[in-house]
Amino acid sequence: MSYSANFKERIGRFVIYAIVIMLALICLLPLWNIVAISFSSSEAVSANAVGLVPVNFTTAAYTKIIDDAQFWRSFGISVLRVALALVLNMILIILMAYPLSKSKREFKGRNIYMNIMIFAMLFSGGMIPTYLLIKNLDMLNTIWALVLPGAVPIFSVILVMNFFSAVPKALEEAAFIDGANPLQVLFKVYVPVSIPALATVALFSIVGTWNDFFSGLIYMTKVSNYPLMTYIQSLNVNIADLLQAGTNSSELSNLTEISNKNLNAAKIVVAVIPLLLIYPLLQKYFVTGIVVGSVKE
Amino acid sequence: MKQGNMKARGRLGPGAMYHMMMLPGILFLLVFSYVPMVGIITAFQDYIPAKGMFGSEFVGLKHFTYMFKLPDIAQVVSNTLVIAIGKILLGTMMAIIFSVLLNEIRVKYVKKSVQTIVYLPHFLSWVVLASVVVNMFSLDGIVNQMLAFFGLENINFLGSNTWFQPLIIGTDVWKEFGYSSIVYLAAITSIDPGLYEAAGMDGASWWRKVWHITLPGMLPIILLMGVMSLTNILSAGFDQVYNLYNPVVYESGDILDTYVYRIGLVGRQYSFGTAVGLFKSVIGIVLLMSANQLAKKYTDRKIF
């Protein structure tokens, strides 16, 4: 009896491991397939022969990218916008989260500011009024259109605000007695003890900005101004159009989609590398961030 | 005298300084969030770019009556709801099941590796993942090769109005289930282990433990997440749909956001697009208020 119970439990455990590992593979293999395609020859890719191992291993696609001026231009625009957005976001998050972490009594007007923020989070003018604003500000085709509209990430401000309000009051009081002003208290007391929360929102900012293709799509009218994701998206669109035109289609898609497939795959791989580089950090801070963020407030 | 002044200033100091700290951020919000709200007036005008918002003619509710007369809008709203609700239900179920299973994994490096892998797609843009999905689901992709292997007929997932919505829902669940499971996993680890020991002594099976301890223990967080997801019910995922759809599947794939983009922005029907956008925002905020009430009532937490 106990032997069979034990046996049953082992089988159960095995099944659970199998399911979980299979789910992980379902997440990983489609991505890996793109990597394999990027290292395979065009012929192998057109013949649909690439699975998980590159066929006729070649780095030709990557060599082609090295000379692709538009790719690197877009890459540079993305790096620049991430840097600008990160600096701007962090300054504004820190500056706003601190006063908002005070009680209504300590900071008169706190709730008015809070309501301004929350209403902006809940309700928006929508896509077209925002576009018309950017257009009327003459920011189309400038890097500012990619940076300024998202200058205040409200959710992140609230997350840091929650973190700040958990910092022991005694620390702050001691600094005030030493004659520090609020700005000094913020940067000398609050910021150093809030690194995990600040890292979380910094990563939110980096990932969100790097991955965003939509602002590039609507605010940039020239391909030469596209950030990287918008540029890559424009490659996808061509494929989709051809696929669509090819309801009748294998020749059409054979012609165009596939000859570029390994090149596009390589572009995607290069575009994802920056995220993979910070992925260990992401895992460390996002997990705590999401748990703190969802449990609080 | 001088010292008294300083003291007074010191006492006044923090408050004024707090306002100064708020100022830059609030200015950004006023310009980039509140000015567009004023721009909603466009929905009640025949907006002509050359004349601007103040020169264009007011036409009252013309665009709204037009919107409700169009057969498009019912289709678009229904697509949005089907896709969004499908994602919420399936995504939540999948995340819960996965977190329960993952919690059973005791070998540390297996657990860690699995987590590393399943969280990854969440961080990738739909621009990138759309290529992955197209690659898998196109007519000569691996999924159709598998169908062929089992002797089934090929399916043109990306060009079929029957299959497009399931494809959108399924691939979104694929992208997000790992990441969404983080919250549920945290909920499971906070359940009192004593409960499992007691149940074990009573001879309860794994199923019964999951059913009677784990799931009830997760219930508050499941409810909270469920209520919060109501806020997304009209945002079925612009990035994903936009990157995967094409004119053949507009009928089943067009959601409110893609519709506003295509008709309003690309088609330059600014006023009509703004009207549809406003329709979405208003229903969205009503849902959000109701969600907040529900959250207060059933989970003793507020969303905002």
| Measured CA angle at B97 (ends B85, A280), to 5 deg | 95
Q: ipTM of the predicted structure?
A: 0.88
Residues of B with Cβ-Cβ distance to A178 under 8 angstroms = none
SS3 A41: coil
pLDDT tens for each residue of chain B, 304 residues long: 344 444 444 455 678 999 999 999 999 999 999 999 999 999 999 998 888 888 888 999 999 999 988 888 899 999 999 999 999 999 999 999 999 999 999 899 999 999 999 999 999 999 999 999 998 998 888 899 899 999 998 899 998 999 999 999 999 999 999 999 999 998 998 899 899 989 988 888 888 999 999 999 999 889 888 888 887 788 889 999 999 998 899 999 999 999 999 999 999 999 999 999 999 999 888 888 888 888 788 766 666 6
Residue A289 one-letter amino acid = G
Name which of B40, B114, B177 is nearest A125 (Cβ-Cβ): B40
Q: Where are the domains of chain A?
A: 64-295
d(CA B304, CA B297): 14
- Suggest the residue from B30, B48, B123, B134 to mutate for an interface test with chain A (most A CBs closer than 10 A): B123
How many other C-beta atoms can be found within 10 angstroms of the C-beta atom of residue A176? 17
Contact B264, B273 (CB under 8 A): yes
Q: What is the pLDDT of residues A77-126, one digit of tens each?
A: 999 999 999 999 999 999 999 999 999 999 999 999 999 998 998 888 98
Domain residue extents for chain B: 2-58, 62-299
In this predicted structure, what is the pLDDT of residue B234?
87
Which pLDDT does position B226 carry in this prediction? 85
> B58 forms bridges with which residues in the sheet?
B45
Helices (H) and strands (E) in chain B, counts: 16, 2
Q: In the CATH hierarchy, which top-level class contains the domain B62-299? A: mainly alpha
Could you read off the pLDDT of B155-172 as tens digits, one per residue?
999 989 999 999 999 999
Mutate to test the interface with A, among B127, B164, B260, B269 (most CBs of A within 10 A): B127
- Tell me how far apart the alpha carbons of residues A200 and A284 are, in angstroms, rounded to a whole number: 9
Mean pLDDT taken over chain B: 89
Residue A150, pLDDT score: 94
Distance between CA atoms of residues A94 and B46, nearest Å: 42
pLDDT value of position A145 = 97
Fold of the domain built from segment(s) A64-295: MetI-like fold (1.10.3720)
**CB B183, CB B101: distance < 8 Å:** no
At A199, the amino acid letter reads: A
Query: B53 to chain A: which residues are within 8 Å by CB?
Result: 132
Q: Which amino acid is at B176?
A: E
Q: For the segment A184-238, what is each residue's pLDDT rounded down to a tens digit?
A: 999 999 999 998 899 999 999 999 999 999 999 999 999 999 999 999 998 876 5
Secondary structure letter of residue A33 according to DSSP: H
pTM for the model stands at 0.89
Structural contact between residues B80 and B256, judged by C-beta atoms closer than 8 angstroms: yes
**Residue A239 binned pLDDT confidence (cut-offs 50, 70, 90):** low
SS3 at position A78? helix
Q: What is the pLDDT of residues A22-79, one digit of tens each?
A: 999 999 999 999 999 999 988 888 877 788 889 889 898 999 999 999 999 999 999 9
**From the CB of residue B233, how many other CB atoms can be counted at a distance below 10 Å?**
19
Give Cβ neighbours of residue B303 (< 8 Å, ≥ 6 apart). A297, B227, B228, B231, B288, B291, B292, B295
Strand locations in B52-177 (E)? 57-58
B124/A211 CB distance under 8 A: yes
pLDDT for A226: 96
Q: What is the pLDDT of residues B193-215, one digit of tens each?
A: 899 989 988 888 888 999 999 99
- Contact call for residues B28 and A133 (beta carbons, < 8 A): no
The whole-angstrom separation of Cα B120 and Cα B102 is 16
Q: Tell me the C-alpha distance between B108 and B86, whole Å.
A: 33
Per the model's pLDDT, the better-predicted residue between B281 and A245 turns out to be: B281
- Amino acid type, B209: K
Under 8 Å CB pairs connecting chains A and B tally to 263
